[in-house]
Structure 1
Amino acid sequence: MCDEVFGENNFRNYIIVRRRVKSLNIQFADKGLNSYNIGFEYILVYSKSDAFLFKDIRMEKENIPQKGSWNVFWSNADRPSMRYDLLGFTPKTGQWRWSKEKANEAVENYKIYEEIYSKKLTLEEYWISQNKDLKFIRRIPNGEGKNGGVQYWIPPNTTSLRTSDWTDLEVSQIKKDFDIPFDNPKSTKLIKTIISSCDEEEFIVLDFFSGSSTTAHSVMESNIELGGNRKFIMVQLPEQVDEKSDAYKSGYKNICDIGKERIRRAGDKILKDNKDKEGIENLDIGFKVFRVENSNIRWENQLEEDGQIKYDLDGKNIDDIDFVPGTKDIDVVYETLLRHYGIPLTAKIEKLDFIGNRTYTI
């Protein structure tokens, strides 16, 4: 299905995420098992085009190295313009990793360290004292081979680049953030990690099967943690909840009711938890709710020849216009925006009470 929607050429990755496993097989283990419990789930990653590039995602290492390491400064990519004299050696094939200017600067950095600081500081200590900004290059005496013994220093790193193995993260979140009756909510940490893979601060996140609206919660938290103004669209059929369920007894008639309450509580909690953070007053936690309905207006009687909407027909008062019974004014406003002006649903709409109780500005 995703191949048909996005094109099979735009498939990027399978990502595996850990699944919490119930120990159902234990009672049968002594007699033998037909299969092992499934311990992970797949995330299928597609792009809209080959122009999209992931932002690198880093994770904390379990065993943090205390020392840096030296590595070969030569690579086998064939770029003659990147073959230049460095510490008395010029490679005949392949290339150096950095530009000549950057490499020479790294050579000077190491010379300064050796001549002035090496007797009192390790290279790691010196690097830290220089705000972890410096790069270093050296050459091993009598170095041979394609790189002539030229090496560059890799500093100790507390993080590593994520792969497609995300089994340190769980699909579901066992401990709920709020006392809302909904089974197996997705993990906000997982959704936030997915969001962080896009190197933009303003984009729309669509969840077409939104459930308890974990995605909306995650988007708002991402905005406060990563900065930016990402927006969300949650889509969910108003599936009725079981009348015998805790959700129904708590006043939630369908899944959408649960999602809306989750978004409200999540927004309030984010503001409360970050009340002292700079710029928190600008964090947008608002949302609008729409449902698919039939038209509020009997349009066949309401249009001028040029397609403009005509509310005053044959001298009638607006109260006599052919609206569907029970229609609210604000519903007509939004329908008008969509059908005739292409104005987004996120537009700011204000009621002008000082003119009349049926006048709106957009």
Structure 2
Amino acid sequence: MIKDSIQQNENTTPNSKQLAVLKEHFPACFKSDGSFDVERLKAEIAGTTNVVQEGYELKFLGKSYAKLLASTETTTVIQPNEAHNSLPENANSENIYISGDNLDGLKHLLKSYNGAIKCIYIDPPYNTGSDGFVYADNFNYTKDTLQEKLSVSEEEAERILDLTKRGSASHSAWLMFMYSRLLLAKDLLKDDGVIFISIDDNEQANLKLLCDDVFGEENFVAEFARITKKAGKTTELIADNNDYLLCYRRTDDVELNKNSLEGQGYVLEDEFVEERGPYKLSQTLDYDSIQYSASLDYEIELNGEIFRPGNVTKEQMLERQKRNPKSDSCWRWSRDLFDFGNQNGFVVVKEGKNGKRIYTKTYLNATIRKNAKGYFVENFERNKATSTLEFLDNKYSNDNSRKDLSKLFDVKVFDYSKPVSLLEKIVTLVASDSDTVLDFFSGSGTTAHAVMKLNADDGGNRKYISVQLPEVLSPDVDSQKIAYEFLKENNLPTSLDYIGIERIKRAAAKIKEEHPDKEMDLGFKHYILQEPNQNTLDKLDSFDKASLLADTTIMEEFGKPTILATWLNADGYGLTVQAEAIDLAGYTAYYCQKHLYLIDPGFTLESMKALLSKYDAEGHFNPENMVLFGYSFPDWSINEMIEKNLRILNDGEKNLKINFTVRY
């Protein structure tokens, strides 16, 4: 503890704190060598934006608009799928599936999961021209609004609006789409969190520059090539058989898990297996041809037999020692090392083609080391870093993703999924057995499937959060027809998110069948992000706080479960915590840790007395915040009564500090 402080102080300069703040919020202003680009900072914080000069690369058209979208609060609410969430396998699950636009989903997640995600994987549209990507949003900004918000001219505002409204699939449109989402995703990562992004040649170069901008060039980890197919003819000049995985970290406080070498030749066991693991035979102790050293040319006696390097006679060995040739047979180990290795089980004699030979053992979890006191056995875990060529193994190809789905579905429901093996490898590189993994382009649900499978294999308790746009499928679109018909035949909503939901359910059932005795979280909570309809928006707009009349239809249109889920998440409790119903003289309030929620109308003086009594009598009951649904409590006298009694409670012997908030 003290040593860490001393080392930190040695590296501290007068402006260390200021630079740390700048690096957190303006990573793109730091070069790869760590130096600060003050001119870039000036451009970042300039009061005006010259959109006419925005173009390709990092100055793409719409970059300032994407920043605006990332900074705008979502107007959606979180509607729980009560029928699904109440099922036994889902009621206590910590896994989450969100049906909704991932831009809104990320904004909601940031309220409870900021800095909590260890691993993000996304497989966004590649913008190939045939993958269906076009930019679209429902933010109805006018030209005048953009001029004001972005400090741009009328011409510049028109260019941005044209890009957002005409369904563009240009490089700028794709970058604008990704930029707002990556800005939000970065804040979800833990300090030691990592993001992996699948991409191909169409946008790979642009994505690399974009991620340098968002995460900082110094936080680039690696770019992995991934095999997409082993073979196949093409009419192009080159057969395109790979795409890429870009990997970035949140900060430099990251360690990637290394590959265990277990099973890679380590199959033999001896009496040391419990402490050293299995072993494999290394090469013989002597080489037929080696850089000769007379000190390594000696006799070894084992079990009554004499061994000499190169299997020579004693006379030949003595003559060789006199000649001291540049190359000839000799032992790889010195006499001292051999004696130690032999005494500690690192030596074995095996029969070979030319008689008996001495071999050395290489243990998976042990080796011989030397220090000032001599030789000793060191136990460790033998592994190696993951190569950037790791994903060129055919098991990571799209052929295997089709096999994964065929085991669960009888039809080809999805065209562009990634194999489970790919996501398993990604997760094991980063996430421990209790971390949370996020995929906000969830697609067919491969990430969720991989997390469940890993937990089943190693006993982990990793959690997943999946977000997928509920794109409505059409039987008239060739790429959607099979999926549409499958959902229709199974009486499921005909939107893309339900392909992922059904895949997760089927994968969970298969995993349970394969591991019947294991206790695992194979369920998930399902939430739908809903934009209030126009009728509700009109009621919200016309509601008069001074009317003294509650509008219970507003609460009914949202639904109490939706209000509760949205508030619990907004207050930092996440999407898997349930509020406890509290009876207050016939009035039902909802309690969760530091918050008490009053949603229904009908809170009376008797309810208030019951609440005060509960504060007084129950030591564990101590919510610090009371929140009212404003549309149920327009009567100022009710609010005044609550505030008055809370002041009395705050001034009492318990010295409480209870905050009172009305939300609309």
Query: 2:470 aligns to what SS in structure 1?
Result: coil
**Per-residue displacement from partner, 1:186-227 (whole Å, max 9, x unpaired)?**
100110000000252222211121111111111111122233
Q: Residues of 1 paired with 2:420 and 2:240: CA distance?
A: 22
Letter in 1 for 2:425: T
User: Counterpart of 1:9?
Assistant: 218
Where relative contact order (Cα < 8 A, 6+ residues apart) is larger, the structure is: 2
* 1:174 equivalent among 386, 397, 402: 402
Q: Residues of 1 paired with 2:345 and 2:448: CA distance?
A: 54
User: Counterpart of 1:57?
Assistant: 259
Structure 1 position 334 matched with structure 2 position 565: yes
**Distance of aligned partners of 1:158 and 1:122 in 2 relative to their CA distance in 1, 3 Å threshold:** farther
Q: Residues of 2 paired with 1:197 and 1:22: CA distance?
A: 28
**Distance of aligned partners of 1:62 and 1:190 in 2 relative to their CA distance in 1, 3 Å threshold:** farther
Give the Å deviation of 1:185: 2.1
User: Counterpart of 1:290?
Assistant: 527
**Distance of aligned partners of 1:42 and 1:115 in 2 relative to their CA distance in 1, 3 Å threshold:** closer
**Distance of aligned partners of 1:115 and 1:107 in 2 relative to their CA distance in 1, 3 Å threshold:** closer
**Distance of aligned partners of 1:231 and 1:66 in 2 relative to their CA distance in 1, 3 Å threshold:** closer
Q: Residues of 1 paired with 2:577 and 2:345: CA distance?
A: 62
User: Counterpart of 1:43?
Assistant: 245
Q: How does 1:1-362 map to 2 (within 5 A)?
A: 1-20=210-229, 23-25=232-234, 34-58=236-260, 61=264, 67-69=281-283, 109-110=340-341, 112-113=343-344, 135-136=367-368, 161-165=385-389, 166-168=391-393, 169-172=395-398, 173-175=401-403, 176=405, 177-179=407-409, 181-198=413-430, 200-244=432-476, 245-250=481-486, 251=488, 252-276=493-517, 280-281=518-519, 283-294=520-531, 298=540, 321-323=552-554, 326-339=557-570, 341-349=571-579, 362=592
Runs of 5+ unmatched residues, structure 2: 1-209, 268-278, 286-335, 593-664
Give the Å deviation of 1:231: 1.4
Query: 2:437 aligns to what SS in structure 1?
Result: strand
Give the Å deviation of 1:336: 2.5
Q: Residues of 1 paired with 2:513 and 2:218: CA distance?
A: 45
Query: 2:246 aligns to what SS in structure 1?
Result: strand
**Kept in 1: contact 2:260–2:382 (CA 8 A):** no
Runs of 5+ unmatched residues, structure 1: 26-32, 72-104, 139-149, 304-312
Letter in 2 for 1:11: F
Q: Residues of 2 paired with 1:115 and 1:196: CA distance?
A: 32
User: Counterpart of 1:101?
Assistant: none
Give the Å deviation of 1:315: 8.3
**Kept in 2: contact 1:58–1:160 (CA 8 A):** yes
**Per-residue displacement from partner, 1:265-304 (whole Å, max 9, x unpaired)?**
222221221013xxx22x112212222223589499699x
Give the Å deviation of 1:124: 6.2
Q: Structure 1 stretch 238-247 or stretch 191-200: which is displaced more?
A: 238-247
Q: Residues of 1 paired with 2:588 and 2:358: CA distance?
A: 73
Q: Residues of 2 paired with 1:286 and 1:49: CA distance?
A: 32
Answer 1 or 2: which has greater helix percent: 2
**Distance of aligned partners of 1:21 and 1:322 in 2 relative to their CA distance in 1, 3 Å threshold:** same
Q: Structure 1 stretch 56-65 or stretch 253-262: which is displaced more?
A: 56-65
Q: Residues of 2 paired with 1:52 and 1:291: CA distance?
A: 34
Query: 2:527 aligns to what SS in structure 1?
Result: coil
Give the Å deviation of 1:16: 1.5
Q: Structure 1 stretch 341-350 or stretch 213-222: which is displaced more?
A: 341-350
Q: Structure 1 stretch 6-15 or stretch 226-235: which is displaced more?
A: 226-235
**Distance of aligned partners of 1:111 and 1:183 in 2 relative to their CA distance in 1, 3 Å threshold:** closer
Q: Residues of 1 paired with 2:427 and 2:253: CA distance?
A: 18
Q: Residues of 2 paired with 1:286 and 1:151: CA distance?
A: 53
User: Counterpart of 1:310?
Assistant: none
**Kept in 2: contact 1:351–1:358 (CA 8 A):** yes
Of all paired residues, the percent bearing the same amino acid is: 25
Q: Residues of 2 paired with 1:114 and 1:358: CA distance?
A: 72
Letter in 2 for 1:321: T
**Kept in 2: contact 1:185–1:214 (CA 8 A):** yes
**Distance of aligned partners of 1:12 and 1:301 in 2 relative to their CA distance in 1, 3 Å threshold:** same
Query: 1:43 aligns to what SS in structure 2?
Result: strand
**Kept in 1: contact 2:350–2:359 (CA 8 A):** no
Give the Å deviation of 1:256: 0.6
**Distance of aligned partners of 1:13 and 1:323 in 2 relative to their CA distance in 1, 3 Å threshold:** same
**Kept in 1: contact 2:231–2:241 (CA 8 A):** no
Q: Residues of 2 paired with 1:293 and 1:259: CA distance?
A: 19
**Kept in 1: contact 2:365–2:382 (CA 8 A):** no
- TM (normalized to structure 1)? 0.64
Give the Å deviation of 1:324: 5.3
Letter in 2 for 1:348: Q
Letter in 2 for 1:44: L
Q: Residues of 2 paired with 1:45 and 1:223: CA distance?
A: 23
- TM (normalized to structure 2)? 0.37
Q: Residues of 1 paired with 2:558 and 2:523: CA distance?
A: 24
**Distance of aligned partners of 1:183 and 1:356 in 2 relative to their CA distance in 1, 3 Å threshold:** farther
**Distance of aligned partners of 1:158 and 1:203 in 2 relative to their CA distance in 1, 3 Å threshold:** closer
**Distance of aligned partners of 1:66 and 1:284 in 2 relative to their CA distance in 1, 3 Å threshold:** closer
User: Counterpart of 2:193?
Assistant: none
**Distance of aligned partners of 1:220 and 1:262 in 2 relative to their CA distance in 1, 3 Å threshold:** same
Query: 2:510 aligns to what SS in structure 1?
Result: helix
Q: Residues of 2 paired with 1:335 and 1:159: CA distance?
A: 45
Answer 1 or 2: which has greater strand percent: 2
The structure number with the bigger radius of gyration is 2
Q: Residues of 2 paired with 1:186 and 1:350: CA distance?
A: 40
Q: Structure 1 stretch 284-293 or stretch 187-196: which is displaced more?
A: 284-293
